Amino acid sequence: MIKDLINFGAGPAALAPSILAAAAQAIVNYNNSGLSILEIPHRDGKHFDEILAESKALVLDLAGLSADEYEVLWLQGGGRMQFAMIPMNFLAQDATAGYIDSGFWAHDAQSHALQYGNIETLCSTRESNYTSLPIVPKNISDQLSYVHYTTNNTIYGTQFAQIPECSSPLIADMSSDIFSGQRDYSRYDLFYAVAQKNLGAAGVTLVVVKKNMLDKIVRKLPPILDYKQHALQHSVLNTPPVFGIYVSLLSLRWIQQKGIKNLAAENNAKAEALYKEIERNSLLTAIVAAKNRSNMNVVFNALNEEMEHELIAYCNNNGIVGVKGHRSVGGLRVSLYNAISMAQVQQLITVLKAFENEKK
């Protein structure tokens, strides 16, 4: 039996059926190697080397970057590990890093950095519970060790359309919108994404870092926390999450096959259709103003909390899961990552309409 629920959850998120089938096959017998992907060694110069090489090449190709200039790393420890590693590596005790405070994860990243050096909050919408994006200042100092921001705020459903202008090194958490649309990745000195949203399974984090950043590491660190050591060891400093990297490779192939341009158009159309229904539906209200809306995470309310619970249950009864809002915001949240099809969005819209009719 194959899975039959539509998962609109924010992460671990839906994966395309073809990716799940290929991952399942690899567990049984990887590429007819006679071994499961869970058993293949990571230092035999064969299967895993191919997985690593192809996955890195695909990342660079999709981002439009060159291997001469950027390193691609597959690391563990999720988003939080990056929140810590970034200041550990790049923020000296007496130096200052700039943070754009646009949501829960952006704020958490900033909190981690406080332990290592000075922080300048460049702009923040924390006071208004992050329901809109902060206005990024035009005159960001070029003396900052780096500027960190979150391209898409997974919990609050806001997404930056523009890349901040700054001449200090630019670092971005792209966990919930990487490769979902067209973007000039060459503007970044480091960007990262946990895999469990747009890029595969939990347990692996993609980090792409400009090589010249690796000469700016400010303190002596245990190798496992040092970007340069990971780069020197080609992501096999320790036993890597082989299966997770393989699922990301399958996702990257799938993205490559679809084409980012097509995915971008599809993602826009999906989000547009859903926001349109939320605006039409007499029981629902979108939380974020149109100009700040994310096309990855759509957050909205029903008339009251009780109705929200009813709607979540109604969705569950109709084969739709993962629509409950994050505990810090409440309401509803529908995540429309790459793997979600337009047909699935239409199915959700049909259910939202039926719910409205039932309540009349």
Ligand X SMILES: *Cc1c(COP(=O)(O)O)cnc(C)c1O
Rounded Cα distance between 195 and 79, Å, is: 9
Catalytic residue among 56, 74, 105, 254: 105
State which residue, 194 or 283, has the beta carbon closest to ligand X. 194
Q: Are 275 and 288 in contact (CB under 8 A)?
A: no
DSSP class per residue in 96-138:
EEEEEE-SHHHHHHHHHHTTTSEEEEEEE-GGGTTSSPPPPPS
What the block records as the tokens of 42 is 């990571």
State which residue, 12 or 330, has the beta carbon closest to ligand X. 12
Instruction: Provide the binding-site residues for ligand X, judged by CB under 6 A.
Output: 11, 78-80, 105, 150, 154, 173, 175-176, 194, 197
Burial class of residue 281 (count of CB atoms within 10 Å of its CB; 0-12, 13-18, 19+): middle
What the block records as the tokens of 281 is 């539906």
Rounded to 10°, the helix 17-28/242-258 angle is: 140
State which residue, 174 or 274, has the beta carbon closest to ligand X. 174
The beta-carbon contacts of 356-359 under 8 Å, at least 24 apart in sequence, are 356/281, 356/282, 356/283, 358/314, 359/283, 359/307
Shortest distance in whole angstroms from residue 337 CB to ligand X:
11
Shortest distance in whole angstroms from residue 255 CB to ligand X:
18
Q: Are 339 and 20 in contact (CB under 8 A)?
A: no
Shortest distance in whole angstroms from residue 172 CB to ligand X:
10
State which residue, 78 or 137, has the beta carbon closest to ligand X. 78
Q: Tell me the residue number closest to ligand X, measured at CB.
A: 78
Pair type for strands 118-124 and 190-194: unpaired
Q: Are 340 and 322 in contact (CB under 8 A)?
A: no
Rounded Cα distance between 101 and 260, Å, is: 28
Active site residue 105: yes
Shortest distance in whole angstroms from residue 80 CB to ligand X:
4
Catalytic residue among 197, 210, 228, 270: 197
Q: What angle do CA 31, 62, 165 make, to 5 degrees?
A: 150
Active site residue 254: no
Shortest distance in whole angstroms from residue 105 CB to ligand X:
4
Shortest distance in whole angstroms from residue 327 CB to ligand X:
13
Residues annotated as catalytic are 105, 173, 197
